[in-house]
Structure 1
């Protein structure tokens, strides 16, 4: 990964991976539903400035994760889809208590495609393999 820093806060670091042309989002510290939503709004603002079809969403730096994917989060992902997001690789925080409910919600979401992982390397490899379908010469989804 060759990363160009876009945003850095105590809770969130967002970079553009120039080799893979995706956003790399690294969450830090402790989060609850309120702080997670605030970070999601920051991600969306950056995404609007730097649109791409893929996000590597890394929660491995989150301590004491107390937030889980909710209907609000699903709507947020659908808004990102409308802006061009097609694939998100989501690396869970260690010892994430919201894993089962989040996995249950993610399986019903098809746009964008969200896949969950326990480690960054596997998520990175999966995201690299995802390709946008061609809709004809010079046209993409």
Structure 2
């Protein structure tokens, strides 16, 4: 991946993969409801700027803190992604068990766009590459 950084904090990164024309999102550490929603809003803004139709959402380094927003992420945020033209989201699961459970719960509410979870970024990238 050749990534162009678009936004970066110690716990959150948004970058654009120029070769594949998708956004790479990296979440690290603990989050609360406000931080998750703020990150999601930033993602939507960068989708508007880049016109990306795919997202590699890397939560492998996320720790607990998503339980309060799992339904909102799965229903409202993913619907907004679809409304913004996103066709596919590959979500790399957290290694932290409570965070992984929250991701699994959020995925139960996703109706669109096409989304799947993965244990590593290599598998997630392969899946995204095959989405046309």
Q: TM-score, normalised by structure 2?
A: 0.87
CA RMSD of aligned residues (A): 1.8
Q: CA deviation at 1:44?
A: 1.2
Which region of structure 1 is more displaced relative to structure 2, 64-73 or 37-46? Answer: 64-73
- In structure 1, C-alpha distance between the alignment counterparts of 2:64 and 2:52, rounded to whole Å: 27
Q: CA deviation at 1:84?
A: 0.3
Q: How does 1:37-116 map to 2 (within 5 A)?
A: 37-62=37-62, 64-68=63-67, 70-73=70-73, 74-100=75-101, 102-107=103-108, 109-116=110-117
Q: Does 1:28 align with 2:28?
A: yes
- In terms of fraction of residues, the more helix-rich structure is 2
- Say whether the 8 Å CA contact 1:65–1:93 is kept in structure 2: no
- In structure 2, C-alpha distance between the alignment counterparts of 1:122 and 1:17, rounded to whole Å: 16
Show structure 1 runs of 4+ deviating over 4 A: none
- In structure 2, C-alpha distance between the alignment counterparts of 1:126 and 1:91, rounded to whole Å: 11
Q: How does 1:1-16 map to 2 (within 5 A)?
A: 1-16=1-16
- Uncovered stretches (5+) of structure 2, i.e. residues with no partner: none
Q: Equivalent residue of 2:77, what SS?
A: helix
Q: CA deviation at 1:106?
A: 2.1
- Uncovered stretches (5+) of structure 1, i.e. residues with no partner: 132-141
